[in-house]
Structure 1
Amino acid sequence: MKTIIHYIYIILFVFIAGAANAQPKNTPQTASIAGSLLNEQGKPMDFATVTLLRAKDSSVVKGTLTTDAGTYVFDKVPAGSYLVSATTVGYQKTVSQPVTVSGEQPTVSVPAIKMQPGSKSLQTVNIISSRPLIERKADRTVMNIENSVLAAGNSALEVLERAPGVTIDKDDNISLKGKQGVTVMINDKLTYMSAAQLTIMLKSMDASTIQSIEIITNPSAKYDASGNSGIINIKLKKNKQSGTNGNLSLGVVQGARFRDNTSLTINHKQGNLNLFGTISRGDANRLNILNIDRVVDSAATSTYFKQRTELRSQVHYNNYRFGADYNTSSKNTLGFVINGDYTNEYNNPNRSVTNLGLTPAANDSYQTTTSNIKQTYRNFAANLNDKLEIDTNGQQLSVDLDYSIFHNNSTAQYDTYFFTQAGASQMSPLFIRNQTPSTITIYTQKADYTLPITKSVKFETGVKFSSVKTDNDLQAQINSGSTFINDTSRTNRFVYDEKISAAYINLSKTWAKTSVQAGLRAERTSSMGDLVTKNQVVKRNYLDFFPSVFVNHSFSDKHEVGLNYSRRIDRPGYDQLNPFRFYLDQYTYEQGNPFLKPQYTNSYELSYTYNKTINVTLGYSQTNDVSTQIILTDTLTKATYQTNLNLNRQNSYNININSPYTIAKWWTGNINFTGFYQQFKSDSLLGATLNSGKATYVIRTTQTFLVAKGYKAELSGNYTSALAFGIFNIKPQYSVDAGVSHSFYNKKMNLKFAVSDIFNTRRNNVSSRYQNVNLDVRQKNDTRVARLTFTYNFGNSKIKARQHQTGADDEKNRVKSGN
């Protein structure tokens, strides 16, 4: 396959070279166009956007920014007639009189362009130029958290939970509009992590390093086909300025346990070189109370379990990200990005008490389990990228090469003691321990090519190859009385290899009020899961096609509609395939399923936008071989365990309404309503037919108050009604958050104070009554916390610089992480 990719690269470059050679050999004479911008008082307008247009059709030729003296220059402009357009925030767009380049003069001077203020007041302009918390774009919803008070001191996971249509369950699984199978990207790159590993990473990511969160429910063929409910793209803050500048953030958090976080971002741009870097560290200590009541039926009797567990986690993390972009020419940029994390997590001492009885009211015996768990995560990723702008019409080629490696290691010891109802020792204690080293290695290569055929027609194509290998080694021991010996019943090794080759094409056409985009993506997957100890191998080879269609039409300035369709796939996460058992105690554990199949989803979406503000979206999707969490019971050992199985089908219907509003100049808000109905069907789940579903709605509202000069306050609330998911019923959830911020020292310093879940109401309460499954779970996480965060922005803050995103995010999204 690597040879095929190599040939494709050669073909693309030959095509580009041929296109370049096909240009006329007699190069027209050129000249420079220079001028200046002045405000209404005749003073220079610095760092305004200036665009060079062809006079005959107003098509864009070049663009630049004015200097701090208000001047601009366009070099090497071919002979012809041109216009100069100038725009900047708070001023009306202004266009010059036509100017002519004949080649007879080396420089053509444009008379000074005088800008006029916008028709709205400066106060109103300031409000508009500050991005709203929620923005609706043609193909995505954007949550701008960079300046949000509530983001201060939060982790990325806690902020993500506030995004429109996003819910996070008791196990930190992420759902979008009620559907699991979300692909999480960071800076347009796949994270290649499993659900658990992704959770750890998001918990240790300081929200102060995030610029925005993008919700893409129906991605185009350009994106990887994974993720049946869509893509969540987390955009990190990047270098936008020349000179040297940066940001320092310090935060303390007090909940049931103390936390703290620190991050430092530094950017430097000089000439053709752009350097950037971010480091962050923190201690995230949390308390999680878990209560499980369940009934296990055997042939003759029923056993009632009442279990209470206190999970105490201490996480210390260090994250880093740095890179560089270098303009080798005016049309080519070469860059690299390196990032990683070094995380230690301690779960000790976790204590679980389980009462057992033959009736609900009386306990015959009980057991206590103390667990001491240490997990380490050592992750590293590198990206090399090149972007070639072939011409000024938008023809370009970009190439990404990625390498990632994840080293995870877990050591755990479980000490269980058995007692009678009176408290006397019932039997000898059980001591077991595990060591679980794990290594995941990922290589990806990606190339994307864009060709504007005409002003209104654009062609895109690209190829990608990824190779992933996971090696999980479970070394289990049991205490024989005086020493630990190997436990052959649990010791195992699981090796998983996966290779995916992909290619796509996109064609888009724009008319006056209508735009259409159609694409097709093909992905061939070859995978092998090897349960080494049992000599059990699962191989799969399959080729899939993923079409997508997007149609948008504007009836007027106030009424727009869109219709789109896409087909997607969800391959099982690497930890979901791993058949190892991970224990809470003797009667409670989870394990993977190496026979889990991928699931396929067809999604349809109709959207309507009124006056660029109110957005309504209707969606329907059908998922076949849907993978879902399930609770199973071993009637012989009376153990209850969680795993994943494929059900026949899931039908999902959803509606989303989002609207920002302004009550006064000092009071703005946003309300988001998501309603959905999910229907799960299976012909033979645990020997019976499953047909479950429930209508659910989620309401989120945020109010922003400009209480005084330099002060801003936010108040937000959310409510999620009862939810049915597979065999589980989830009770309603609700919470209220509030915060206030103060900017000072020329807006370079900011102090934020916020409280999450003020009334401590957020809980995860889950129940299931299906066949022999009879359980209730009540979970209370450490949700009511107070945060105090100080940030300081330093250095130059004017000229924008190039930003880049990598190409290995889909595979990373399926790796298990630990923050």
Structure 2
Amino acid sequence: MKNAFNSLLLVGALAAAPSLAIAQTAAAQATPAALGSVAGTVADSLSREPLAFATVILLPVDAQNALSTMTTDKGAFSLAGVPAGQYTLLVRYLGYKESAPVAVAVAAGRSTAVAPLALAADRHVLAGVTVTATKAFIEQRADKLVLNVAASPIAAGGTAHDVLSRAPGVLESGAGYSLRGKTVTVLLDGKYTNLSGEELKSMLSAMPGSTLDKVEVIANPSAKYDAQGAAVINIITTKSRKFGTNGVLTAGTGAGRYGRYNAGLTLNHRADRLNIYGGLDRLESKTYATTRAVRSATSETQLQENGLETRRNASNSLRAGLDYDLSKNSSAGVLLKGMLSTRSRDGQNTAELNTTRGLPLSESVVNTVGTAKVLSPSVNLYYKTKLDTLGKELRLNADYFGYNKASGNTYATSFTDEFSTGQNPDFLRDNSPASNSVKSLSADYSQPFYKGNLEAGLKTTFTTTDNDIRWEQAPAGQPWTLDLGKTNHFIYRENINAAYATYSRSIKKTEVQVGLRAEQTNTTGTSLTLNQTNERHYLNFFPSFSAQYNQSEKVQLGFSYSRKIDRFRFGIVNPFVNYISQYRYAQGNPNIRPSFSHNFEFTHSYSSLLSTSLSYGHHTDVLIETYRKDDATQVVVNSFGNFRSAESLDGSMTLMKPLLNGKWTTVTTAGFSFAKVNDGSVGLRNARPAAMLSTNHTLALAKGLKAEVSGMYMSPLTFGGVAFKSRFYTGFGISKSVLKDLGTLTLNVTDVFNTQQNRYSVLANGINSRNVDQTESRFVKLNFSYKFGNKNVKASQRRSTGIEGEKSRMDN
């Protein structure tokens, strides 16, 4: 611990040095004699939470040449190049009363700090206005894409996984999610989930959509975020903003091939200084998944596999939290979360070896049954305080996340050929417990600084994954014996010490942000079974830069750059073998290395109507899924490896058009994606660009009715020896306000035409296969929600913690 702390201080000093140097250089530059600047912050008068994108107006006493700007997401504003003189400052924000006029005297060559401004909610305005426009499911903002889940009829009765699959530019892959060719880190309320792959999808599939408020898709996160992942998706859960005691009750049912149901209750009590909240949700479903594959075995034979598996899932999510205002400027809180999920599987996979003319040679049938139980508790403690009236703020977080899994599967294999029929099946079984934990401490500091805003922070994270997989085999009629070839006990430990600093300011019409993040990493992977240990220690720097030029009130141009790291999922480094079928295995690679990337993006936006982006990435030591085949047994083993480099190019254009006086909102995105591996391995250099089109329409109808239609299409894409075929998806939903607008009844259909499937071919390393994987996605769902309790609004607190990135990498 002492070494880690010393490393953290060293990394912090290294990260702060360039920012201090920049600040000293900037301070040495002379300000024009007749000009000064004005800076300050804007917040909610009750919660003291910052108000983002508020309009700040600086009026000269002669009422000519007024200056204006908007607050940042931290509620800070800065006006540079202001002629010396007397001014009146006003702040306006929708739903709030205009601020009282503030007299400001601007002196030449000096920066004037305005005392923090607090706006009061205008309840009379909110109560007296009837809003006829409907809130769009998709909003394009300057630095992010926002999905308003609570406003979506299609999302009702669904899951967080369903919502992410509808986000423009977001694609699901075996490793998790990608955004316009970039690896994605998934956050939950600003906290890293520390899960990836199938475990991340399982967690999101167990999270009811009714618990979500919105989803933020951030294509170019700053140095403030962990260097892991070139893009960030932040899932924000619902939290009451009302005084007194109130809550929401939800219940729903649905059906695909099988039935499903969900139910939930959230409660909240908010007083002037205290907020206590909690909730319990249950989701139960039974679904099916199919797999089909045809691949060449030899020049004269081919192997055809068909699989069908039914899965039962039941999840219970519990959360309880407390926020307390210690004083006018300080608050603290605790948040406890827990998820208990159980899964069972029952499947059959049939593999037939035929001649190329279709004559059968042999058949293998594998029947699989298995169960899994996962308990994942988490704790967050936070403290935040404003150190003065000029905008200095300190946030402290302590986090713990646990992931404990008990899992077991039994495989019965029956083999038939011309020489053997009716033999007893061979049995194989595994017992795969996992005990993983993540602990994190972080400190974040911000303050106005030299006509802008400075943010800096320290963070240390300790992660341990302990996987003890035991395989046993029982050949036809024989007793169970240990399978030494697959059994392995593997422990992986990782410590990351990080420091960052960012500086942002407005220079006339340009908003600029520069940042630097340093991460010092220590890893140890130990196979107790093989008595092997791999250690690594490395220090990396991750600069970032962004600039937005406000050409006019309607036109903005932007550019951003960031260096990122793509850390492997914890399961990838584990060398144990995962049995998929008699002819398919997956195996980790203990020698895997993280991948690094340089990411550039140009953006253009016109009013709230059109936004365009073009991004390029150069990746080194790129992580790619690999395949190798044993010609004697015809077994294909999936793994991962590092390859020299890769290039990616992506572009998109989004049109947001309100129609019928705002009652009909349409958001349509068209784009393309291209990626190519720079490596001489057979088949890996194959590349083919893909086009993408997604559209979402929300319509406010009469008498409290609202309808939504969405669709997505992606053309074929080839990358790294894998050629993906086109994908298509569409959904429909309708909702009705009932019980004096306290209740909402929703009916929706997802994947209307049952086309959401993954079709791909593998053409690399001597493997020629065609595959179709499909998890059930067409459901009809009926959902009801009811709000009760006090309706007086008070802004809620949002807080971020520091372990979501590590959650997003757990997959065992």
Per the shorter chain, which TM-score range? 0.7 to 0.9
Task: Write the letter of the residue equivalent to 2:413.
Answer: T
State the match for 2:674 in structure 1: 677
Code of the aligned partner of 2:648 = S
Aligned pair partner of 1:616 in 594, 601, 612: 612
1:377-396 paired onto structure 2 within 5 Å: 377-396=374-393
Residue 456 (structure 2) aligned to one of 438, 461, 468: 461
Q: Distance in 2 between matches of 1:263 and 1:577?
A: 38
Do 2:646 and 2:678's aligned partners in 1 also have CA atoms closer than 8 Å? yes
Question: What is aligned with 1:791?
Answer: 785
Quickly say closer, same or farther: Cα 1:640–1:9, change in 2 above 3 A: closer
Aligned counterpart, 2:339: 341
Q: Secondary structure at the match of 2:689?
A: strand
Asked if the contact 1:762/1:780 (under 8 Å) is kept, the reply is yes
The aligned counterpart of 2:249 is 248
Choose which of 139, 144, 147 in structure 1 pairs with 2:143.
139
Aligned position for 2:166:
162
Return the letter of the residue paired with 1:475: R
Q: For each residue in 1:334-391, what CA deviation from the matched residue of structure 2 results, as whole angstroms up to 9, or x when unmatched?
A: 111111210110002x111111124351111111110111111111111111001112
**Is this contact kept in 1: 2:55–2:68, CA < 8 A?**
no
- 1:632 touches 1:642 (CA, 8 Å); kept in 2? yes
> Which of 195, 198, 214 matches 1:196?
198
Is the contact made by 2:250 and 2:786 (CA closer than 8 Å) also made in structure 1?
yes
Report if the CA contact (8 A) 1:681-1:689 is conserved: no
Match of 2:556 in 1: 560
Q: Against the structure 1 CA distance between its residues 787 and 172, is the aligned structure 2 distance closer, same or farther, given a 3 Å change threshold?
A: farther
Q: 1:381 to 1:9 in 2, by over 3 A?
A: farther
Instruction: Determine the structure 2 residue equivalent to 1:479.
Output: 474
**What secondary structure, in the 3-state scheme, does the structure 2 residue paired with 1:138 have?**
coil
What percent identity do the matched residue pairs reach? 30
Aligned residue for 1:763? Answer: 757
Q: Residue in 2 aligned with 1:275?
A: 276
Q: Which SS does the other structure have where 1:533 is aligned?
A: coil
Q: Is the 8 Å Cα contact of residues 91 and 116 (structure 1) preserved in structure 2? A: no
Task: Give the aligned partner of residue 233 of structure 1.
Answer: 234
- How far residue 393 of structure 1 moved from its aligned partner, in angstroms, is 2.3
- The 8 Å contact of residues 496 and 520 in structure 2, kept in 1 or not, is answered as yes
User: Structure 1: which 5+ residue stretches go unaligned?
Assistant: 12-35, 37-48, 63-80, 101-111
CA 790–815 in structure 1, closer or farther in 2 if over 3 Å, else same: same
Please give the per-residue CA displacement for 1:743-771, whole angstroms capped at 9, x wherever unaligned: 12222100000001112222221112224
Paired residue secondary structure (1:802): coil
**Does 2:177 align with 1:174?**
yes
State the number of aligned residues: 735
Distance in 2 between residues matched to 1:163 and 1:7, nearest whole Å: 39
Aligned equivalents of 2:55, 2:233: Cα separation in 1? 33
Which of 358, 362, 369 aligns to 1:361? It is: 358
Aligned to 1:29: none
- Residue in 1 aligned with 2:217? 215
Show the 5 A alignment for 1:440-519.
Answer: 440-454=436-450, 456-479=451-474, 481-519=477-515
Structure 2 residue matching 1:157: 3-state secondary structure: helix
User: Cα distance, 1:718 vs. partner?
Assistant: 1.1
Contact 1:190-1:811 at 8 Å conserved across structures: yes
Counterpart of 1:323? 321
Name whichever of 658-667 and 619-628 sits farther off. 658-667
Cα shift readout 1:552-601 (whole Å, capped 9, x = no counterpart): 11011011111100000011101111222221222112121111110001
Tell me what 1:21 maps to.
none
- Give the corresponding residue for 2:24: none
Q: Residues 217, 90 of structure 1: CA spacing in aligned structure 2 closer, same or farther, 3 A cutoff? A: closer
What amino acid sits opposite 1:185 in the alignment? L
- Give the secondary structure class of the aligned counterpart of 1:810: helix
Structure 2 counterparts to residues 641-790 of structure 1, below 5 A: 641-665=637-661, 666-683=663-680, 685=681, 688=682, 690-790=684-784
Contact 2:685/2:719 (<8 A) preserved: no
| Distance in structure 1 (CA, Å) of the matches to 2:532 and 2:99 | 71
2:485 partner SS: coil
Question: Distance in 2 between the 1:117 and 1:272 partners?
Answer: 25
> Residues 735 and 757 of structure 1 are in contact (CA less than 8 Å); yes or no, is this contact kept in structure 2?
yes
| Change over 3 Å in CA distance of 1:344–1:641 after alignment to 2 | same
Amino acid at match of 1:366: E
Give the superposition deviation at 1:235.
0.9
8 Å contact kept, 1:661–1:670? yes
Any runs of at least 4 consecutive aligned residues in structure 1 with deviations exceeding 3 A, and if so which?
1-11, 49-60, 81-100, 112-118
CA distance in 2, matches of 1:220, 1:337: 26
Question: How far apart are the structure 2 equivalents of 1:502 and 1:469?
Answer: 18
Displacement after TM superposition at 1:318 (Å): 0.6
Q: Assess if the C-alpha contact under 8 Å between 1:711 and 1:742 holds in 2.
A: yes
**Structure 2 CA distance for aligned equivalents of residues 411 and 113 of structure 1:** 55
Aligned partner letter, 2:802? G
CA distance in 2, matches of 1:388, 1:53: 28
Alpha carbons of structure 1 residues 278 and 91: separation in structure 2 relative to 1, 3 Å: closer
**Residue 330 of structure 2 corresponds to residue 332 of structure 1:** yes
- Aligned equivalent of 1:103: none
Give the drift of 1:780. 2.7
Instruction: Specify the alignment match of 1:811 in structure 2.
Output: 806
Please tell me whether residue 402 in structure 1 is matched to residue 388 in structure 2.
no
Q: Residue 88 of structure 1: CA displacement? A: 6.6
Aligned to 1:639: 635
Corresponding residue for residue 306 of structure 1:
304
One-letter amino acid matched to 2:453: K
User: Displacement, 1:801?
Assistant: 2.9
Write the deviation string for residues 192-228 of structure 1: whole angstroms up to 9, x where unpaired.
1132211110110111111111111111111000013
1:6 Cα shift? 9.1
1:793, 1:246 → 2: CA distance? 6
The alpha-carbon deviation at position 538 of structure 1 amounts to: 1.8
Residues 513 and 55 (structure 1), Cα distance of their counterparts in 2 relative to 1, 3 Å cut: closer
Q: Partner of 2:622 in structure 1?
A: 626
Give the 3 Å change call, closer, same or farther, for CA 443–682 of structure 1 in structure 2: same
Using the TM superposition, give the Cα deviation of residue 172 of structure 1 relative to its aligned residue in structure 2, in angstroms.
7.1
Task: Tell me the equivalent position of 1:152.
Answer: 156
Q: How does 1:53-72 map to 2 (within 5 A)?
A: none
Q: 1:117 to 1:433 in 2, by over 3 A?
A: closer
Given that 2:251 and 2:263 are in contact with CA atoms closer than 8 Å, whether structure 1 keeps it comes out as yes
d(CA) in 1 for partners of 2:363 and 2:374? 35
Task: Compute the displacement of 1:10 (Å).
Answer: 13
Asked if 2 retains the 8 angstrom alpha-carbon contact of 1:472 and 1:494, the reply is: yes
Q: Secondary structure at the match of 1:150?
A: coil
Q: Which runs of 5 or more residues in structure 2 are unaligned?
A: 14-44, 46-52, 62-66, 72-85, 106-119
Normalised by the length of structure 2, the TM-score is 0.85
The Cα shift of 1:605 comes to 0.5
Paired with 2:339 and 2:95, the residues of 1 have a C-alpha distance of 42
Does the 8 Å CA contact 1:194/1:575 hold for their aligned counterparts?
no
Q: In 1, Cα distance between the equivalents of 2:60 and 2:449?
A: 19
Aligned residue identity for 2:189: N
CA-based RMSD: 3.1
Aligned partner of residue 160 in structure 1, secondary structure: helix
Residues in 2 aligned to 1:615 and 1:516: alpha-carbon distance in whole angstroms: 19
Question: 2:565 touches 2:595 (CA, 8 Å); kept in 1?
Answer: yes
Q: Secondary structure, in 3 states, of the residue corresponding to 2:198?
A: helix
The separation in 2 between residues aligned to 1:94 and 1:386, in whole angstroms, is 29
- Map residues 567-578 of structure 1 onto 2, 5 A cutoff: 567-578=563-574
SS in 2 for 1:576: coil
Distance, in Å, in 1 between the alignment partners of 2:89 and 2:272 is 25
CA distance in 2, matches of 1:50, 1:303: 68
Task: Note if contact 2:149-2:212 (Cα within 8 Å) is conserved in structure 1.
Answer: yes
- Asked if the contact 1:239/1:803 (under 8 Å) is kept, the reply is no
